[in-house]
Structure 1
Amino acid sequence: MLSVCFYVCVLLCGCYLQEMASCAIFSNPANTVKILKRRSPYSGLFGWNSGEKLDNLRPPQKVVYHDDVQLPFSLSLVNKTFLKGRELKCCYKASIDGFSATKFHERCDFQGPCVIIAYTRDMSFKFGGFSPEGYRSTDDYYDTLDAFLFYWLDDSDEPIVLSKVGGSGAALFDYARGGPQFGADGLLIGPPLAPVMGGFAGPDTNSGIGDLRMAKSRLGLSYAKRKDGKESIFGDESKVTLDDVLVFCSPYIASLY
């Protein structure tokens, strides 16, 4: 009888100590933060945020799409991408939403893979790029061979595609204070007006915001040169002024984040 009572006492003490330990864990703010970070809902379909500091990322925001904007490209352009067979809608139109990089990220972050279309002054030249990573304001770069640039000639309905060259390294940049950037110099739309040092925007994140009216390009190092051998996607000019920038994404993929 005494041995049974002793066993019951030991069991009760063990349960009590376990309960106290649990309370200590969840009453410790540091431990709570760790648990919340493991359960972050922003991990993403394509491995987004893996190894990234979540404190630097804003949560996804619901975007009202521009339903009246028609696709300015054939769906065959995305046949070899994650967007194949998906309904695509315009999540950002600079001439309506604003040309600042802040507005760009407010409407494009966490929307998934996307197609960027831009027009030079007087809508005289149409070009763009495909980003398989999308945007999240990470102030980081991504390695991939799936990103590409493209442009149209005046007498052609189908775009000419410029693939990634020189390996997969640094194919895409995602600066919180800048717009779309393909490679270190392949195509920059609205680059940050101040350098982003060490992968961080610095204490004053409102300074140096890029203007998506401005774009520049140098081909050959990160993306293939044009078929005519010119080293800028714009042809003879390395820098241009833009009339509009549009971004198209899949609402279905965006809803998964």
Structure 2
Amino acid sequence: MYDNKFLPKLSQNLLEILGNNEFCDITIEVGNEPYVKIFRAHMVILSYRSVYLRRILSTNVNVNRNRNDGILTNIKLPNISPEIFQMILRYIYGGKLSLEEYDTSDIIKILIASNELSLQELITHLQLFLIENKKDWMERNFNMIYKISFENNSFSKLQNFCTKFMSNVPERNINPNDFTSLSEKSLISHIKNDIFQKNVIKIWENVLKWGISQNPELPSNPSNYSKDNFYTLKITLKQVIPFIKFLNLNNKEFLDKVYPYKKILPKDLREKLVKHYLNYDYRPIDKSEPKIMTRRISLGSIDSKIITSQHAELITKWIDGLRITDNMKNSYKFNLILRGSRDGFSTRTFHMKCDRQPRTITVIKVKGSNEILGGYNPIAWSWSDSFGFTTDSFIFSFKNKGNIENYVLSHVRDTGRAIENSPALGPSFGCDDLYLNGYYSYDKSFCRYSRCYDKAIRETEDYFTVEDYEIFQIMKS
């Protein structure tokens, strides 16, 4: 029968062998001057306990195979401190490591050294110990733990811990000031898993900082870049850029922050973005500084407490698929059929007044802010629980009523679920892309991130309350 009772004695004997220099056949020079210590050990034990040591020892043995001069084989481990190596060496011989007696910072150092020595069993054990026993310490020192975990492929358990922590506690995310010290791999992981994807412009700005920090010779202003400067930054960010969700930017962010660096983008991505924003969101005045322009065309007065005639002009151009600078093809009349502050906020009122009415524009004033949300539904609303199919719907937002240039326009992507109908909902678009929820007040409304439409129209998925909303039927005049 297999019995573990003999293992403690075996461990003790092996540790005694370590302490006895009589049969040692290798010296290990650990650390850097002036903090260097020489350890004596046995090649056969080191070789079978560490894949890394086996590899470098086999090289040394082949070189010295024909030597018989009594000189011990010597190897150097400059990246490990003598104190940490002594702990690991006792583990290699005795299979024991009492972590409770060490500071957490020392355990981290043991983990890093174990990775260098390819001690996989110990790597797994140390990660689990940290997660189960040192969670609070790691959260307080999260930036350091994050950086370490993603610089080493073997630390998958710590990587999972970091990813989960970032999802649950976004306010404790990586400080943007620390981005420049991240490895490429950890930067990519941060982009893929981080809450900042809900504000893509922050990710882009930090990626640029990271790329420029890797090449300190680059000018700070892209207008001063040479062809070689752009090429250098392009190569540096080649592996990072594919993970950035550029289509979640609004038009102003794209023009101000991304367009000046367009030469570092892959050609297919650059063409896609320029086509996307150029077709609907902007027309550059000159190559150096694109600007948003709009030419006012009077539609007459509009009966609205939420939008102005300028908003209405812009919305009609979106309906006709025009650029901002194009002249209007058609003249439209906005016929008000529902106003929440006048008619009420119940879903029943919405369906009674708006069902079977095609070509409607919904505009929403978000309570407690200057934000305006909205959407265009070219087909009719319905009381039934169903999705409406259309290729022509869109949703939009204005951050401030007084600035029509600062908007986000998002076109339908999943045409089979462009419109969401339900007796329990107000006017809703896509798979929660714009969702008016609440039988009587729409106080649990929200916008999810680009599920059925090509980009998010809000920077948050938090609930909002509708202060007022209006629905117009659009009619050619």
One-letter amino acid of the structure 2 residue matched with residue 86 of structure 1: Y
Question: Residues 86 and 148 from structure 1, CA distance in 2 versus in 1: closer, same or farther, beyond 3 angstroms?
Answer: same
1:63 counterpart residue number? none
| Shift, 1:78, TM fit | 2.2
1:246 and 2:470 matched: yes
Question: Residues 115 and 185 from structure 1, CA distance in 2 versus in 1: closer, same or farther, beyond 3 angstroms?
Answer: same
1:171 and 2:421 matched: no
Of 351, 364, 370, the match for 1:118 = 364
Bigger Cα displacement from structure 2, 152-161 vs 95-104: 152-161
Structure 1: runs of 5 or more not aligned: 1-66, 192-208, 227-232
Question: Residues 84 and 246 from structure 1, CA distance in 2 versus in 1: closer, same or farther, beyond 3 angstroms?
Answer: farther
| Shift, 1:136, TM fit | 2.9
One-letter amino acid of the structure 2 residue matched with residue 225 of structure 1: K
Once residues 100 and 151 of structure 1 are traced to their aligned partners in structure 2, the CA distance between those partners, rounded to angstroms, is 23
What do you get for the CA RMSD once the two structures are aligned?
2.7
2:442 counterpart residue number? 212
Checking the alignment, whether the CA contact within 8 Å between 1:213 and 1:244 is kept in structure 2 is: no
| Shift, 1:111, TM fit | 2.4
SS at match of 1:127: strand
| Shift, 1:160, TM fit | 2.2
Question: Residues 240 and 84 from structure 1, CA distance in 2 versus in 1: closer, same or farther, beyond 3 angstroms?
Answer: farther
Question: Residues 110 and 87 from structure 1, CA distance in 2 versus in 1: closer, same or farther, beyond 3 angstroms?
Answer: same
Q: Write the deviation string for residues 162-182 of structure 1: whole angstroms up to 9, x where unpaired.
A: 1122x4221111212311111
Once residues 362 and 383 of structure 2 are traced to their aligned partners in structure 1, the CA distance between those partners, rounded to angstroms, is 16
| Shift, 1:98, TM fit | 0.6
Checking the alignment, whether the CA contact within 8 Å between 1:99 and 1:213 is kept in structure 2 is: no
Once residues 147 and 188 of structure 1 are traced to their aligned partners in structure 2, the CA distance between those partners, rounded to angstroms, is 15
1:21 counterpart residue number? none
One-letter amino acid of the structure 2 residue matched with residue 248 of structure 1: F
Once residues 330 and 362 of structure 2 are traced to their aligned partners in structure 1, the CA distance between those partners, rounded to angstroms, is 16
Checking the alignment, whether the CA contact within 8 Å between 1:136 and 1:174 is kept in structure 2 is: yes
Checking the alignment, whether the CA contact within 8 Å between 1:179 and 1:189 is kept in structure 2 is: yes
| Shift, 1:113, TM fit | 1.1
Checking the alignment, whether the CA contact within 8 Å between 2:356 and 2:380 is kept in structure 1 is: yes
2:410 counterpart residue number? 162
One-letter amino acid of the structure 2 residue matched with residue 188 of structure 1: Y
SS at match of 1:79: helix
Higher relative contact order (CA 8 A, sep 6+): 1
| Shift, 1:215, TM fit | 1.1
| Shift, 1:97, TM fit | 0.6
2:459 counterpart residue number? 235
One-letter amino acid of the structure 2 residue matched with residue 189 of structure 1: L
Once residues 361 and 408 of structure 2 are traced to their aligned partners in structure 1, the CA distance between those partners, rounded to angstroms, is 15
Structure 2: runs of 5 or more not aligned: 1-301, 321-328
| Shift, 1:139, TM fit | 2.4
One-letter amino acid of the structure 1 residue matched with residue 426 of structure 2: G
SS at match of 1:245: strand
State the TM-score, normalized to the length of structure 1: 0.56
Question: Residues 68 and 236 from structure 1, CA distance in 2 versus in 1: closer, same or farther, beyond 3 angstroms?
Answer: closer
Once residues 375 and 317 of structure 2 are traced to their aligned partners in structure 1, the CA distance between those partners, rounded to angstroms, is 14
SS at match of 1:96: helix
1:49-60 aligned at under 5 Å gives the runs none
| Shift, 1:252, TM fit | 7.3
Checking the alignment, whether the CA contact within 8 Å between 2:361 and 2:377 is kept in structure 1 is: yes
| Shift, 1:236, TM fit | 2.8
Of 116, 137, 145, the match for 2:391 = 145
Once residues 448 and 361 of structure 2 are traced to their aligned partners in structure 1, the CA distance between those partners, rounded to angstroms, is 20
1:1-257 aligned at under 5 Å gives the runs 68-69=303-304, 71-72=307-308, 73-81=311-319, 84-154=330-400, 156-158=403-405, 159-165=407-413, 167-190=414-437, 209=439, 211-226=441-456, 233-250=457-474
Once residues 169 and 238 of structure 1 are traced to their aligned partners in structure 2, the CA distance between those partners, rounded to angstroms, is 26
